[in-house]
């Protein structure tokens, strides 16, 4: 079995370890939960395990629908083997309904329908508050080339189509989410994670928030809500 050798990167919610295979890393999902660019941080028991199981299920589903991604297999309740990627310092966000930063930025009322879905790029830099950027910033500053930009947009919108359908079948609304991509041998793969930490999910009937907004807004039952989404999607958390 692949063993962890040393820490490569420590982020706000996960850690990445090198392994004896240079093309593979072990991603550890911690219980740390952060919001507001790392200004609010708490430990939520069991979140690492829920997110690792959740992510594995979603990545396998996306792979089966043709979205190539870095996930290989889980090796422990809160750890998975992933492909080592050269990550773009970019966050790709899609919005089906208005929530979060777009409401503040454009003065929109929460839950307004975004039709067609809105795609946005953000520059991944906590010290700058992850600012909104566009294609020109990305090419001018050499963060990715025009072909990479097209592939990231296409894969993000394809992921949205696949997951809106999946969540809808569980009476859940996929409001918005964030993806990160990276390259290996010149090919772009979906990396990082898809978990309730990086998306907004509401109950279709009651519009109850079931995602990280429960932590951001101090609504409580954060891990329980993540478990409820997983349960409704048929994800095994053990
Ligand atoms: P943060 O929010 O601080 O990025 P994370 O805890 O999510 O915190 O950190 C995970 C880090 O690992 C991020 O920098 C992410 O870009 C990076 N990453 C995700 N997937 C891969 C991968 N397959 N190969 C290399 N780095 C990755
Ligand atoms: N998001 C994320 N990481 C970030 C910024 C945003 O996972 O650093 C996710 C967030 O959970 C939401 C979507 O991307 O599902 C859109 O976030 P928004 O721009 O509204 O920012 P927020 O107000 O949530 O910080």
- Three-state SS annotation for 217-232: CCCCCHHHHHHHHHHH
Report residue 51's pLDDT band, with 50, 70 and 90 as the boundaries: very high
> How is residue 17 written in tokens?
């370890």
Residue 152 is predicted with a pLDDT of: 98
- Residue 198 Cα to ligand 2 midpoint, Å, equals 6
- Element containing residue 162 per DSSP (H, E): helix 146-168
Which whole number is the average pLDDT over 72-77? Answer: 97
In the predicted model, what is the mean pLDDT of the chain? Answer: 98
Domain 4-83 has CATH 1.10.150.250: no
Q: What is the pLDDT of residues 147-158, one digit of tens each?
A: 999 999 999 999
Task: Evaluate whether 114 touches 96 at the Cβ level (below 8 Å).
Answer: yes
Q: Does the pLDDT value for residue 1 go beyond 90?
A: no
| Domain ranges across the chain | 4-83, 88-222
- Give the span between the Cα atoms of 187 and 107, in whole angstroms: 38
Report residue 5's pLDDT band, with 50, 70 and 90 as the boundaries: very high
Please report which ligand is nearest the Cα atom of 179.
2
Residue 60 is predicted with a pLDDT of: 98
End-to-end alpha carbon distance in the chain: 20
Q: Quick one: the chain helix, strand, coil %, rounded to 5?
A: 30, 35, 35
Residue 190 is predicted with a pLDDT of: 99
Pocket (CB within 6 angstroms of ligand 2): 91, 93, 99-102, 130, 176-178, 198-200, 212
Atom of ligand 1 nearest to the CA of 189: 23
The domain made up of 88-222 has a fold known as: D-amino Acid Aminotransferase; Chain A, domain 1 (3.30.470)
Residue 45 is predicted with a pLDDT of: 98
Pocket (CB within 6 angstroms of ligand 1): 9, 11-14, 16, 25, 70, 82-85, 87, 180, 182, 191-192
Q: Does the pLDDT value for residue 37 go beyond 90?
A: no
- Residue identifier of the C-alpha nearest atom 3 of ligand 1: 11
Q: Is the peptide bond before 141 cis (omega within 30 degrees of 0)?
A: no
């Amino acid at each position: 079995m692949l063993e962890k050798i040393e820490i490569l990167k420590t982020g706000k919610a996960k850690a990445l370890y090198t392994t004896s295979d240079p093309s593979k890393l072990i991603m550890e999902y911690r219980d740390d939960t952060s919001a507001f660019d790392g200004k609010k941080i708490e430990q939520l028991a069991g979140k690492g395990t829920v997110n690792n199981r959740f992510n594995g299920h979603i990545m396998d589903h996306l792979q089966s629908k043709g979205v190539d991604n870095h996930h290989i297999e889980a090796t422990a309740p809160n750890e998975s083997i992933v492909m080592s990627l050269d990550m773009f310092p970019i966050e790709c966000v899609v919005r089906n309904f208005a929530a979060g930063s777009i409401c503040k930025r454009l003065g929109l009322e929460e839950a307004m329908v975004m039709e067609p879905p809105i795609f946005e790029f953000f520059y991944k830099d906590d010290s700058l508050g992850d600012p909104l950027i566009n294609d020109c910033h990305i090419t001018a500053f050499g963060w990715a080339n025009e072909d990479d930009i097209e592939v990231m947009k296409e894969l993000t919108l394809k992921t949205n189509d696949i997951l809106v359908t999946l969540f809808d079948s569980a009476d859940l609304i996929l409001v918005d989410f964030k993806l990160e991509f990276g390259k290996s041998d010149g090919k772009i793969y979906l990396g990082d994670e898809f978990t309730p930490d990086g998306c907004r999910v509401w109950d279709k009937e009651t519009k109850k928030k079931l995602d990280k907004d429960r932590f951001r807004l101090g609504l409580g039952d954060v891990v329980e809500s993540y478990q409820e989404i997983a349960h409704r999607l048929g994800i095994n958390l053990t």
